[in-house]
């Protein structure tokens, strides 16, 4: 990423989708009851489709789609934010946490920070959301200008090497000698490895069993040593491959074991390096899950165009979406992993190219992802804020707010969103089951191809089919 993703929570209002306004908080008779009604189901397994996609499934076998937003990197998330995310039809939040803030001194955990994390998860539970806890870092940690984000000072060893920040390109900090040294020590030093594992075990013990906890994104945007000229794409690709096959793979094995010492329920997500955004396929190996029963490991790439992150409007002729889709396909297919896109979205969706980028990205993710969390939930008139001050989807971001099947009693065939109309084609399972669709009250919904009973309430539609049709089409929109 080439520019800092800043965000500030401004006015609080209820998002609108397809021109229909969700019920504002003051009109909800019982928000906790609504949260129970809309509660996202915890995925207990997966289903691999004929096209190679692996999707989450509920205990009853229905296919689950998890969609939502990143929150709390800046410590500003409120209960109203999570209430609005749920009221807008979403089922998932990715909650950024910082090793620096949670363990400011070796072995000393900040009880205020832990209480805040519990509070965010409690709000998620109250409004029926699941949460992925993201162990976040950008340019390693606060030693290198990261504020209170990332890896703490006491776990930073830079060998006294220089660090000269570039105010116009924060990502370039990764290539500074001091940052390179810090990553080498984190990956290689036995005591740092042990301390990092202890931290993960402590947090997993603290949060285990929380009803809202989906799992953990084990390391945000991993990076490491680059021997050679980082402006040379071949050098970067070689460094990325070496990291993923060696040091990073070893780190993931340690962190998987660290969480599994105390938590056998949660899902664990591994990220490739950010070069996947340049169309470079990951070289990560597969990972064994020591939990009893089926594996609960997923793949969590980010979906950013470097040129857009640098401030340019998106150019559809560049082939970014196509190259990215090709780059991330083979790994999850080979290992039968569900794909959860942890971050995506342009720094300004209002420009013509970026508006088209959001449309293309949401369409692409229906072909390979089991879920996603957009960057970032906040109210504002620009930047990454997904919602305007008056509570509407930011101009250009409307496709992210389109209806979708949160729980599908069948196999998805295709999904599209054009000119405000969402269309889902699916092959129903033989055993009757209720398909749940996130769609605002008042937005027309039709089911063709089968007789059906549809019940609607609180921004959801539940569809029960009668008979045994081969294919069913669901549309929503005006």
pLDDT value of residue 62: 97
pLDDT value of residue 19: 34
Q: Are 202 and 253 in contact (CB under 8 A)?
A: no
Stretch 305-316: mean pLDDT: 94
pLDDT value of residue 34: 47
Stretch 436-458: mean pLDDT: 95
- Residue 81 Cα distances to 39, 310, 332, 342, 446, angstroms: 16, 28, 32, 19, 31
Cα Rg of the chain (Å, integer): 22
Model confidence over 350-399: pLDDT tens digits? 999 999 999 999 999 999 999 999 999 999 998 999 999 998 999 999 99
CATH superfamily of 403-478: Golgi alpha-mannosidase II (2.60.40.1180)
Is the confidence at residue 12, as pLDDT, over 60? no
Q: Are 314 and 354 in contact (CB under 8 A)?
A: yes
pLDDT value of residue 11: 26
CATH for 16-401 (3.40.50.2300, 3.10.20.30, 3.20.20.80, 3.10.450.30): 3.20.20.80
The larger pLDDT score, comparing residue 289 to residue 24, is at 289
* Per-residue confidence band for 38, with pLDDT thresholds at 50, 70 and 90: confident
Q: Are 341 and 303 in contact (CB under 8 A)?
A: yes
pLDDT value of residue 37: 55
d(C-alpha 218, C-alpha 50), whole Å: 29
Stretch 166-188: mean pLDDT: 94
Stretch 61-85: mean pLDDT: 95
Terminal alpha carbon distance of the chain: 37
Model confidence over 243-296: pLDDT tens digits? 999 999 999 999 999 999 999 999 999 999 999 998 999 999 999 999 999 999
User: Mean pLDDT in the chain?
Assistant: 91
pLDDT value of residue 15: 29
Instruction: Record the tokens describing residue 153, joined without a space.
Output: 């000072």
Beta bridge partners of 398: none
pLDDT value of residue 25: 33
pLDDT value of residue 119: 97
pLDDT value of residue 146: 75
d(C-alpha 379, C-alpha 7), whole Å: 8
d(C-alpha 270, C-alpha 268), whole Å: 7
d(C-alpha 379, C-alpha 382), whole Å: 9
* Per-residue confidence band for 22, with pLDDT thresholds at 50, 70 and 90: very low
**Residue 94 phi/psi, 5° resolution?**
-110, 115
* Per-residue confidence band for 74, with pLDDT thresholds at 50, 70 and 90: confident
Numbered ranges of CATH 2.60.40.1180 in the chain: 403-478
Numbered ranges of CATH 3.20.20.80 in the chain: 16-401
* Per-residue confidence band for 468, with pLDDT thresholds at 50, 70 and 90: confident
Beta bridge partners of 475: 423, 446
Is the confidence at residue 3, as pLDDT, over 70? no
Start-end of H helices in 12-106? 31-37, 79-87, 99-102
* Per-residue confidence band for 430, with pLDDT thresholds at 50, 70 and 90: confident
Going by C-alpha positions, the residue among 3, 82, 6, 102 that lies closest to residue 380 is: 6
Instruction: Record the tokens describing residue 386, joined without a space.
Output: 């997904």
């Amino acid at each position: 990423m080439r520019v800092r993703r800043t965000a500030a929570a401004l006015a609080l209002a209820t998002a609108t989708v397809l021109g229909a306004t969700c019920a504002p908080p003051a009109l909800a008779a019982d928000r906790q009851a609504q949260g129970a009604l809309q509660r996202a189901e915890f995925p207990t397994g997966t289903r691999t489709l004929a096209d190679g996609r692996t999707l989450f499934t509920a205990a009853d076998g229905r296919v689950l789609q998890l969609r939502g937003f990143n929150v709390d990197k800046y410590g500003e998330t409120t209960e109203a934010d999570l209430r609005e995310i749920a009221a807008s039809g979403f089922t998932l939040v990715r909650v950024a946490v910082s090793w620096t803030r949670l363990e400011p001194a070796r072995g000393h955990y900040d009880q205020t920070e832990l209480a805040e994390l519990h509070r965010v998860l409690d709000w998620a539970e109250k409004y029926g959301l699941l949460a992925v806890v993201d162990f976040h870092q950008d340019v390693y940690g606060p030693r290198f200008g990261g504020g209170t984000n990332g890896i703490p000072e006491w776990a930073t060893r830079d060998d006294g090497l220089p660090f000269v920040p570039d105010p116009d390109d924060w990502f370039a900090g990764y290539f500074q000698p001091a940052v390179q040294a810090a990553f080498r020590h984190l990956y290689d030093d036995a005591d740092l490895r042990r301390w990092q594992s202890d931290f993960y075990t402590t947090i997993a013990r603290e949060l285990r069993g929380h009803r809202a906890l989906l799992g953990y994104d084990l390391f945000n945007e991993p990076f490491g040593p680059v021997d050679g000229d980082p402006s040379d794409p071949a050098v970067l690709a070689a460094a990325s491959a070496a990291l993923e096959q060696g040091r990073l793979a070893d780190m993931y094995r340690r962190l998987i074991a660290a969480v599994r010492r105390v938590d056998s329920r949660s899902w664990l997500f591994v990220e490739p390096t950010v070069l996947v955004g340049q169309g470079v396929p990951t070289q990560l190996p597969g990972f064994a899950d020591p939990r009893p029963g089926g594996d609960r490991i997923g793949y969590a790439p980010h979906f950013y165009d470097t040129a857009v992150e640098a401030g340019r409007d998106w150019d559809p002729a560049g082939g970014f979406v196509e190259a990215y889709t090709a780059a991330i396909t083979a790994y999850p297919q080979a290992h039968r992993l569900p794909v959860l896109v942890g971050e995506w979205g342009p720094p300004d969706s209002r420009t013509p190219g970026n508006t088209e980028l959001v449309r293309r990205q949401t369409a692409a993710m229906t072909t390979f992802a089991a879920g996603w969390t957009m960057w970032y939930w906040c109210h504002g008139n620009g930047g990454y804020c997904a919602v305007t001050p008056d509570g509407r989807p930011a101009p250009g971001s409307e496709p992210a707010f389109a209806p979708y099947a949160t729980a599908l009693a069948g196999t998805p065939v295709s999904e599209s969103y054009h000119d405000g109309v969402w269309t889902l084609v699916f092959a129903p399972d033989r055993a009757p089951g209720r398909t749940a669709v996130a769609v605002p009250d008042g937005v027309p919904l039709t089911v063709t191809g089968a007789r059906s009973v549809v019940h609607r309430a609180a921004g959801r539609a539940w569809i029960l089919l009668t008979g045994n049709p081969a294919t069913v089409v669901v549309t929503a929109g005006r």
